[in-house]
Structure 1
Amino acid sequence: MRELETIQEFYEVRHKWIPNEIRNSLGHFNVFPLEHPNIGKDAKPLEYGRREWYNIVLVFGGGIFQCSGKEYQVKNHAIAFSNPYTPFGWLERDKITKGYYCIFNEQFLKKDKRIIEFPPFKTNTIPFYELTDEEANAVELLFKKMFDEVKSSYIYKYDAAKNVCGSQVAYHDEISEL
């Protein structure tokens, strides 16, 4: 298992750039589509280990999510949550056809902790949920809204993206009660 991966390492290794806002005290938030070479043919596993950020991942297709020493099989569509205290990784990412993920740190949520108080972010809970087609499509729309907000020039775009992220958490509460 690798040691704690920092946000700066995440950007340097996977994206070859570092956003300016990770250096300020306001915290960090970003959203990405899952793309080749991280999914699809010849995709390599994501090394099992801890990261210094919170993560929400939506995947379409098959794969294996590892968390806290357990493995969770993606049958069709799934959403997974991780936190800085729990190691996670992905196996068989070559069967994932598309997806999205967002990362954020605790500083970003300084004034609003409701997202990280959400049960799947807690240790000793199952942070993985299979989704129906309808649920996966609804969550995908939320990810697309977050992506659009972050890419916009709107001055409060991160607050807007945080609100969409909170909507995603609230939506998950609704589907998990069904």
Structure 2
Amino acid sequence: MQNKKLIKKLKKGDQKAFKKTYCLYYPKLIHTAKRFKFKFLTPDDFAQETFLKLYNNKSQLKEDVLFDKQLFVICKNIIINHLNRENKVIPLEQLSFKMEETIENDDFNDQEHQIKHLHVLLNQLPQQQQKIYKMHKLENYSYKEITEITGLSAKTIANHIYLANKFLQKKVSNA
């Protein structure tokens, strides 16, 4: 299918053209995403999100630019945005280590107190953030599992965890 013809069909919402595009480009997007190391999401997540963004923004496709290029730019931007967010997430192990230092400095050496302190801090988070953070960090649910349970997007979950980490790090460093 020619570039302009394909883009026109996609812009009109042609489901057959979209399905054909999906079948043709999905493996290529997976291959592209596999070149990166992600902590939370899989290459499939990025391919899916790319097609979702393509479908939701189909009216913005440009007929004079190669479709391949537009699709891969969408995917690249999604990956870069995710990596930027992922690099801001503070691992719980680092947080626990800082909490141990802080608590030791205050002469509270027992682990039970550390756990209580963490729960006190967690209870200060907004309810949704608290729930997602506990599911991921304390109950070891994956982003995908949390998405299925809550109906929220992986991006929203990553954002909640990022904000919770930021809050906890601030509280621990000020303690």
Q: Tell me the TM-score normalized by structure 1.
A: 0.30
Higher helix share goes to which structure? 2
Q: Which has the larger radius of gyration?
A: 2
TM-score with structure 2 length normalisation? Answer: 0.30
User: Which structure has greater strand proportion?
Assistant: 1
